[in-house]
Amino acid sequence: MIGRFMKYVAAGTLGALVALPAAISANDDVMSITSNPNNWAMWSRTYDGTRYSPLAQINKENVGDLQVAWTFSTGVLRGHEGGPLVIGDTMWIHTPFPNKVFSINLADQSINWIYEPKQDAAATIPVMCCDTVSRGLAYAEGKIFLQQADTTLVALDARTGKKIWSVVNGDPKKGETNTNAPIVVGDKVYTGISGGEYGVRGFLVAYHIDDGSMAWKGYSTGPDDEMLVDPEKTTHMLKPIGKDSSLKTWKGDQWRIGGGTTWGWFTYDPDLNLVYYGTGNPSTWNPVVRPGDNRWSMTIFARDADTGMARWVYQMTPHDEWDYDGVNENILVDMEVDGLMRKVLVHFDRNGFAYTLDRVTGELLVAEKYDPAVNWATHVDMKTGRPQVVAQYSTDQQGEDVNTPNICPAALGTKDQQPSAYSPRTGLFYVPTNHVCMDYEPFEVDYVAGQPYVGATLSMFPAGRVMENGTDNLGNFIAWDADKGEIVWSLPERFSVWSGALATGGDVVFYGTLEGHLKAVDAHTGEELYSFKTPSGIIGNVNTWTYNGKQYIGILSGIGGWAGIGMAAGLEGDSEGLGAVGAYKALSRHTQLGGVLTVFALPG
């Protein structure tokens, strides 16, 4: 394999995997590799989070001829989120816990090496909120970066699988775990933390890629210096946030167990040198006991990649009463908004609103519902940025132990972590969504480190039960106009669409379904062009690459995640799995557990 590997190095395809001149930084390395569309070298292919590939060998005219080229079993039967990395003739595949990493030789699909970390399953698995998922790997300068569930961040030699360094990012005994895919910018690798349901205090942290030493750490809540914010320079809605902006919005020292965890996706703008990410729900889910806006949970952060200092913040859901985590991807595009070209950030939040912001300043440009079922708020006030909450669907003004019915969306959001895609050819965003509502009943809960700190009982059901003339589908796949704030077309699906989307230069958009179908649709019209049922339900992200001049499509199937937690963890009660089990009971009639990468190509 090393001989074939070095052949690609000589050709320039994998130059990053050998010693580089000192003048080339990891940032340049990653940008060079990701600028080659034959590779798929980070979670979104490129830093901007668009999940767009210009590859067009597979296009809307011939995609119906796709065939399975090869498959690979991971040997793990839990939820498979994320997708593989591909550089030159090598693929790296990750798994859910125990977080195996496979290096695959694409010439014959043989295994180059396997890395399987030793983790304490008894300490880690019980405090993983919504399945034992992992969202993927990162690559830079000959290293593969694995963020293990037990919070250990590991740098592996990409050629041999040998561990170069590792650093402990948290403590499962306190409920801290990790599920996110890291990214590399400059000489640093960035990762977050999970555990909002255990009172974990969220943060983004940067480690040096050479030795794993910490460069900086910015918390989501708390004192200004610990959050890495400047009261006079960090802005919210174009105004300085002011001193103690977070502390003033929590009761006492609740910010210490305030949530705001960072288990989603990270994007980066090289021109602005800003890293973008979202923070999750405030702890606990019972809003009665934590009055105030609970800043800066539920917030998009724009941070300087070198120092970690926050340039601007925008809070989507102040005083979250519904568990609408704000961790979803932030897609960076340059587009026309109201007749002016802008550098924008587009974010499809769990709360059911799609936001278009100026990514330089944080100015709010568009905020509209991307599912007509959304009812907890009427609209977002464009002057204040605040959602206008409908009293009927508030979960705390009636007090504890009172059930609030028919809230839309459910806690898993109009979209959860499954990332959207954007095509510069159509100017549209392609969004996998949930069409699910809930009943929500808070109850009293005390904080104990390492124990669940939820404080609410939920039940979920199709949004059609609430909507007039509604249907019983639990999901839709939509095309979105981020300038107008409008749905262009929508495809209903029996279950939530929990797969990450892919848009291509062939004017084809791919996504997967919870039943296990990989689907290809026309990027302009949404017309279905191809469907194939993989071995298990799909919660992974569709990727594409080229090897030996041939374009391939790959998808991990393996039912699980929050929507599939009932099957993945063997739960049966309707309110188990934080309310999701009852809504997805029928899923077991359509798929079973698995863990398989399926790779597609055109014949010949």
CA distance 81 to 418: 8
Vertex 224 angle, CA 218 and 230, to 5°: 90
The pairing of beta strand 387-389 with beta strand 377-380? antiparallel
**CA distance readout (Å), 240 to 129, 233, 255, 303, 316:** 35, 6, 21, 15, 17
Q: Are 283 and 199 in contact (CB under 8 A)?
A: yes
Q: Are 463 and 435 in contact (CB under 8 A)?
A: yes
Of 190, 103, 98, 102, give the one whose Cα is nearest residue 150: 98
Q: What is the DSSP string of 268-318?
A: EETTTTEEEEE--PBS-S-GGGS-S--TTSSEEEEEETTT--EEEEEESST
User: Cis (ω within 30 of 0) for the bond into 84?
Assistant: no
CA distance 125 to 505: 40
Query: What b/e string do you get for 172-188 counting C-beta neighbours within 10 Å, with b at 16 or more?
Result: bebbbbbbbbbbbbbbb
Of 119, 137, 136, 138, give the one whose Cα is nearest residue 127: 119
Phi, psi of 60 (to 5 degrees): -70, -15
DSSP 365: E
Q: Are 135 and 560 in contact (CB under 8 A)?
A: no
**CA distance readout (Å), 465 to 30, 410, 477, 558:** 47, 13, 19, 29
Specify the 3-state DSSP secondary structure of 547: strand
CA distance 412 to 395: 16
Six-digit token pair at 79? 């939820």
Q: Which H/E stretch holds residue 3?
A: helix 2-10
Q: Which H/E stretch holds residue 352?
A: none
Q: Give the bridge partners for 357, in sequence order.
A: 345, 364
Which residues, 6+ apart, have CB-to-CB distance to 14 below 8 Å?
5, 8, 87, 88, 89, 90
> What distance separates the 2 farthest-apart alpha carbons in the chain?
69
CA distance 572 to 588: 11
Q: Which residues are catalytic?
A: 323
Please state, as a whole number, how many other Cβ atoms lie within 10 Å of the Cβ of residue 353. 24
Specify the 3-state DSSP secondary structure of 34: helix
Q: Give the bridge partners for 114, in sequence order.
A: 102
Q: Are 283 and 258 in contact (CB under 8 A)?
A: yes
Q: Hey, CA dihedral for 242, 343, 409, 412, is it positive or negative?
A: negative
